Copies of this chain bind each other. A is one copy, B any other.
């Protein structure tokens, strides 16, 4: 990589509304605390805590207006620095809307987008009310018009590669086929970076934005995934595709990519450190720390 660390913006975005789960906010704060300290500028977008237990959908999307506001705030924070690269610490998957939109505007056809995720994130309001599952479609210019308007230059299908994608629903499978999105399952990769490098060479892109949804990881090996929510009702995540990768495999692929091109975007999303989330709530029951 040839990116100057001082030109990398660290963007902390503890957004929970896109997954409609207030605990994403705690997870994002923990992620910002455990990440290596930034060498360049840092911006933290203020995200309010949840105040209501019932959050209705507007035009099919829960917390639609707050999410539009947060996307605008994130884009403003990025533009203040005109960074060469952005590290985004979420929060739900929708945190990567403004960063990839910015990077695609900046690097255009020279940019590839690696979507490292068990899920394709191409649903719309007709399929799912939580917009964290819409983000890649929005980046392609498809979906809710106000979110799409937040992406000045849509990402083209040929710029996108799924890494670690698992089983898709019929809607998702059709979307992927219709747009010709390239996909590599964990088994296609088989622990190797070569299939990704082959795609990257064919695409000819020299800059790479990485979306790393932690749910691409195998839940039998990691304890910080959404579907392990101890408060979820039984069967909440039944039928939802589960990741099958190890962190080390993802890191090896991304390191190989960074040797071949410049990684200019890295978003880490969907971190749910349940033990810390539980302790966070317990701390509120202590004198001097409790809600007053």
Interface residues of A (CB under 8 A from B): 1, 3, 5, 8, 26, 29-30, 32-36, 39, 85, 87, 210, 212, 222-224, 247-248, 251, 254-255, 257-258, 263, 266, 268, 271, 273, 275-277, 279-280, 282-292
Contacts and interface: CB of A to CB of B under 8 A. Distances in A.
A277 B1 CA distance: 26
A30 B26 contact: no
A22 to B, nearest CB: 13
Contacts of A1: 287-288
Contact of A288 (B3, B247, B285): B3
Contacts of A280: 34-35
A39 B288 contact: no
B254 A266 contact: no
SS class, residues of chain A in contact with chain B? mixed
A210 to B, nearest CB: 7
Given A33-B32, A279-B34, A287 B273 contact: no
Contacts of A35: 280, 283, 289
Given A32-B33, A34-B26, A223 B275 contact: yes
A246 to B, nearest CB: 10
Nearest to A280: B34
Contacts of A290: 36
A291 B283 CA distance: 33
A213 to B, nearest CB: 14
A265 to B, nearest CB: 8
A224 B275 contact: yes
A237 to B, nearest CB: 19
A278 to B, nearest CB: 9
Given A30-B34, A224-B276, A263-B287, 14 more contacts: A3-B288, A8-B288, A30-B276, A33-B33, A85-B288, A222-B275, A223-B275, A247-B279, A247-B282, A263-B288, A266-B288, A268-B283, A273-B275, A275-B275
Nearest to A28: B33
A33 B39 contact: no
B251 A266 contact: no
Contacts of A223: 275
A287 B275 contact: no
B292 A266 contact: no
A276 B36 contact: no
Nearest to A258: B287
Contact of A276 (B268, B276, B287): B276
A87 B289 contact: yes
8 contacts: A1-B288, A3-B288, A26-B34, A30-B34, A36-B291, A268-B283, A273-B279, A276-B276
